[in-house]
Structure 1
Amino acid sequence: MTAREIAEEIRKSLKKHGITSRQVSVRAKTYTFDEAIEVRIKDLTVSKKLVEAIAKEYEYVRWDDYTNEILAGGNTYVSVDYDYKALREKAKEFIGIAEEILKEKEKYKDNLMRLAEKDDLVVLYQPYHNGTYPHVKLCKRNKYSCILDNVESYYAVDEYTLSEALVILAYQYGFDFNKVMTK
């Protein structure tokens, strides 16, 4: 199958799940030896995990058995991500909340700041600490220990990157950051 045919198949599969081309764009690119499919989520309410599950079925990458390197030629790479323009537009709504969190970060230099909780999920903010860049973590409570399992992590060094992380977590997981838990 060519990259265009694969892109068309992905579109059909997305449509079967009720996802339209207005919500998700699928583009095919052909390079010298390989092909790439770019899937961009324009509607942030669409589940990224569902889109990835559908699109990644069409990915094909050949690996060398001995060196574990990717072999050139005949590969079809599939990438799924948020449309940057849509993400930036929605992130503007969260700039105020991000600025509020960053004002509080000095109190939490050595600790994680708990931003929100929902069911067994917890959103934590880690300010710059011990050479680690600031980031937002989505963690899941572990039933068998007191340790939180990391589900996703987002770079969050300023109000823009922090607001992008908050947007993704709000739309994908339903967190309400309007009442941020800073204590």
Structure 2
Amino acid sequence: MLSPAKNASAQAPKAREPSFSQREFRASLAMFATGVTIVTARTPSGELIGLTANSFNSVSLNPPLVLWSLSQAASSMAALSTGSHYAINILAADQKALAERFAGKREDRWADVPFTEGPGGSPILAGAAATFECFNRSRYEEGDHVIFVGEVERCHHRAGAAPLLFHGGKFYTEHPL
């Protein structure tokens, strides 16, 4: 009789083929309301990098870890994969225009955007509801995305700031129940 370890390696279980279309998958994912972030960094040559992302989540309190993901086809992938630091800026409800600006392909996306520079070199956006300054701890390729795990070196939040939310392809703000 094979031991469980030998049996597992001989015939690893696999997921079944999806029974739904990519469109149905996206529509189902859109039912999950998320916050909106802009991930920021600098290239080694000093170029500013920034992109809107809603794939942010906490991982661990000790050590303090967060994650987010990025399409492998993203133009900023090389800079974000090799850089040592990035910041995750959680947007406030009054920053919808900024979310839209950094979600599109604009050459002037940083024009007139107020920010300060964090100790790791990443831009910290003025007015964000919260900011996490992260060491680029690890990356995992999964499907067509890379999952980034950041070790938080500094964080702060703006007390009383209402967050910008995204659900079903539209932006919202919070309303207590």
Give the TM bin, normalised by the shorter chain: under 0.3
Instruction: Give the structure with the larger strand fraction.
Output: 2
- Which structure dedicates a bigger proportion of its chain to helix? 1
Structure of higher RCO (CA pairs closer than 8 Å, 6+ residues apart): 2
TM-score by length of 2: 0.22
